[in-house]
Structure 1
Amino acid sequence: MRLLPLAAALAAALFSLTATAGPQLLAVGSLNAGGADLSTQTAGPLENGVAGNVLGGMGSGLAWAGGSTFLATPDRGPNAQAYNPLVDDTTSYIARFQTVTMGLTANTSGSGLKFNLTPTLSATTLLSSPTALVYGSGAMGTGSLNGVNYTLGNGTPTLNAINNTNYFTGRSDGFDPAQTSANPNNARFDPEAVRVSNDGKSIFVSDEYGPYVYQFDRATGVRIAAFALPGNLAVSNLSARGDLEISGNSTGRVANKGMEGLAITPDGKTLVGIMQAPLAQDSNKVVRIVTIDVASGATHEYAYQLTTGSGVSDIVALSATEFLIDERDGKGLGDNSNAVVKQIFKVDLAGAEDVTNQSGNLAAKAVKKTVFIDLVAALKAYGLTAATIPSKIEGIAFGDDVMVDGVVNHTLYIANDNDFLTSAGSNNFYVFGVTDADLRAVGASYTAQAFTANAVPEPMSVALVCLGLMGVALSQRRRK
């Protein structure tokens, strides 16, 4: 665990004495940025020279798996280092999820926060398809831009041949140009949110390239289902360059701003995704919430209007219809600027209008929202400054309840995406205590996800995962 700066530690002591009513910061912990994850087979250098198992970006998505176990998804990989703008500096980094044990223990020192948090990385699981995928040939990364010539090799991971496996990667040219961005055979995959099934045996991951929502076997990382999302979310003209993909489409998701958040209802029957930014055909800062029936694949769309932040990063369920949404700006540590807006809003989809076949200005149809946590204010009270609050606070997940001064607190874990950059800080985790009184204040209630007892599998090693994967059938779930 990375030790807190002295100033923050001293401020934490004052915070415990001066905190106001509402959700309270209970603990802070971190994993070392720039270290390595547990997938040693991917440790070789990527196209940009960065190690293929660098530990970073873990807060893009965060999911509770029961007890002290959480899953974290890094996004499409380290692409902050410039090497080839024709593929937006993306690499053949293999998509994966990290399993983390959150050691939350009472702080008995009498000062500081109520709990100590020690995150421990326990497993790294690579994500793959049982069927062939379309990888970049390198042609889209060969050419000239602004008078500079660039070349790029084939984007198929070398580990594919070693393990006889089709791995998903973050490289932006891994697509079939004859299909829309919804094509599940594309190798390019940008994981942004993750949730665990109630039986603990599979996970659901949403991404930005499609957008996609895939279901993976949790033990092996093999895709077992691809949900068909509404066609209005996809784009028809694909490009390895995000700017060209944006200018080449008048409908669908904006490049690099696809399905950023994903929730699962407590009964495990419904997935609820949210787009990061408005679709090209929408206006007035309205983004789409998409519900997916896990059994049938049926979908519905609802409108959510941004009011303070530049986009949405995640969504987590409070109940069957109530959700918390992470809305933020991109300012703070990692952006060399000062954080202004990082807020958690509460919404309720009960009675909301389905806007599936509508577009344009949907502001009047947007669900009502209420501020639940002002993260900038809370982290400043803890001792951080506007310049040291992470710019990308993205992953949110509930965990086990704890007792605080005789009151039951639902723990809400919040994580940052450091873009694999040590300059953007460590992989940080902030734990807030949420009481039933806090929820009643915004007209909400909380039901924990109903995990099946003793149903959580142990992740398999990469060496074992490669055995027998090609015989697993992929089911394509269609909307009814």
Structure 2
Amino acid sequence: MSRLVFSALALACATALTPVHAAVTLIAKGSLAGDGSDLSGLTYALENGAPANMLGGLGSGLAWAGGQTFVAVPDRGPNATAWNTNVDNTTSWVPRLQTLTLSLTPVADGNLPFTLTPALIGTTTLFSRDALVYGPVVPPVNQKNRHYFSGRSDNFDGDTGSLSPMDARFDPEAVRVSRSGKRVYISDEYGPYVYEFNRETGKRTRVFSLPESTFAVAAKSAIGATEISGNTRGRVANKGMEGLAITPDGKTLFGFMQSPLIQDGGDGGRANRIVKIDIETGAVNQYAYDNFIPSLNKAYNSSEILALNSHEFLVLERDGKGLGDNSAAVVKQVWKVDLAQAEDVSALEGANDLLAKAPAKTLFLDIRAALNAAGLADTAIPAKLEGMAFGEDVVIDGAVKHTLYIANDNDFLSVAPGGLPNPNQFFVFAFDDADLNGSAYEPQKFKPAL
């Protein structure tokens, strides 16, 4: 992993002569306006009137790609404004991969030691060479051997379970980059799916098969609430595979459900599942995770998982309150969990059996408290902090620090309910090895480096 060492850093951080451990600290924040256009080149209007090249939702998934380059995935497109409840207000938005630079620059006089300048440098739309199943609206850009995925909730075959890879509906929620840098892995909520794509072209190159009897719902519906009430097992609608991690050696993926499966307690429950996928063989293992936060006496859904090393992970848990919800944030936290000694729970179901196998977790970062300390009120903290990635190391006060980037999904709403600006935001935190309390941080390896 390369290290960012700035010649101007002494101007910004010249006060300390001896490196001092200062806990996980916010060092920069930046934003990218969500009312512009991306670089997809799509010029038509969606069914709800929104432009097909609308920029937004960038923080649904965020991954480091080497240097100051990151990739991000919006979710299924603009559906926060009502237009057709029969499809949960979704449209034939084409899911896409956004490539960004998130440039850190030291500042001599400011509240934070760095400024962060996000810039969009590329957009790649995602497609299948094989024909997909659509509802009444097909993406107008489809052509021979290019069948584009769609965020619209009625794009499915009613005779197959929700893990059918031929369903066109796709709701990306997490992304990771392969060790070669040439492929990306994306998880979603509709299936839940984990797909591999060619990073340059956007072509789907592989489907990772998950256990149908555990994760799929048999009765599919274009309306999420109907889909939930019509099934007794499988993923909860709109609470599918929200998070995805890749181990530093690039050999293993860890997918994370947003909420417990229906048979494990459903939305609001404690007994969540982490899915381990061997990239070479496709072999799958499952582990339990407890969503419960003792200090608040409540379980909170999970938005992201990030690999510290081959067996330890950071997990982002949150409420849905804050900017974008016209309310005040309460819970935005990152927890650390070790799966080294965790038992496989593939053969188990039900909250009690899973929780008995869930490993302990420890709090790594209280995001809300850190942003409060930096001057952000609870009403200014984004409601949907969902993307999380490591980046390049930096040097602060003579000490090497690792960086953690956290981004929000702004639901494609450049103005939040209540009238406040609601851009795509990125927050950068610095931490060192002491903050990990005995855990080892191993940066992701890219070959060749990008």
Aligned to 2:32: 31
Aligned to 1:47: 47
1:311 positional shift: 0.7
Aligned to 1:254: 236
Q: Give the CA RMSD over aligned residues.
A: 1.6
Which AA in structure 1 matches 2:429?
Answer: F
Which AA in structure 2 matches 1:384?
Answer: L
What is the CA–CA distance in structure 2 between the aligned matches of 1:54 and 1:20, rounded to whole Å? 42
Which AA in structure 2 matches 1:317?
Answer: A
Match of 1:404 among 376, 396, 399: 396
- Deviations along 1:434-478, one digit per CA (max 9) or x if unpaired, are 101111x2x311000110124x4xxxxxxxxxxxxxxxxxxxxxx
What is the CA–CA distance in structure 2 between the aligned matches of 1:239 and 1:83, rounded to whole Å? 18
Aligned to 2:379, the other structure's residue is in SS state coil
1:241-390 to structure 2, matched below 5 A, reads 241-283=223-265, 284-308=269-293, 310-361=300-351, 362-390=354-382
What is the CA–CA distance in structure 2 between the aligned matches of 1:71 and 1:281, rounded to whole Å? 34
Aligned to 2:22: 21
1:230 positional shift: 1.8
Is 1:119 aligned to 2:100, yes or no?
no
- Deviations along 1:316-358, one digit per CA (max 9) or x if unpaired, are 1000000000000000011111100000000010010111010
What is the CA–CA distance in structure 2 between the aligned matches of 1:415 and 1:367, rounded to whole Å? 27
1:20 positional shift: 9.3
Do the aligned residues in 2 keep the contact of 1:242 with 1:255 (CA within 8 Å)?
A: yes
Do the aligned residues in 2 keep the contact of 1:310 with 1:330 (CA within 8 Å)?
A: no
- Deviations along 1:12-64, one digit per CA (max 9) or x if unpaired, are x9xx99x9932110100111111110112x23210000111111100000000
Aligned to 2:177: 196
Aligned to 1:244, the other structure's residue is in SS state helix
Which AA in structure 2 matches 1:270?
Answer: T
Which AA in structure 2 matches 1:421?
Answer: L
1:176 positional shift: 0.6
1:103 positional shift: 0.9
Do the aligned residues in 1 keep the contact of 2:21 with 2:432 (CA within 8 Å)?
A: no
For structure 2, list consecutive stretches of 5 or more residues without a partner in the other structure.
Answer: 1-11, 294-298, 417-421
1:378-457 to structure 2, matched below 5 A, reads 378-424=370-416, 425-439=422-436, 441=437, 443-454=438-449, 456=450
Aligned to 2:340, the other structure's residue is in SS state coil
Identity of aligned residues (%): 58
What is the CA–CA distance in structure 2 between the aligned matches of 1:213 and 1:290, rounded to whole Å? 10
1:105 positional shift: 1.3
Do the aligned residues in 1 keep the contact of 2:197 with 2:203 (CA within 8 Å)?
A: yes
Is 1:224 aligned to 2:224, yes or no?
no
Do the aligned residues in 1 keep the contact of 2:181 with 2:448 (CA within 8 Å)?
A: no
Which AA in structure 2 matches 1:68?
Answer: Q
Aligned residues: 418
Aligned to 2:305, the other structure's residue is in SS state strand
Do the aligned residues in 2 keep the contact of 1:62 with 1:397 (CA within 8 Å)?
A: yes
What is the CA–CA distance in structure 2 between the aligned matches of 1:70 and 1:179, rounded to whole Å? 35
Which AA in structure 1 matches 2:78?
Answer: P
Q: TM-score, normalised by structure 2?
A: 0.91
Do the aligned residues in 2 keep the contact of 1:263 with 1:315 (CA within 8 Å)?
A: yes
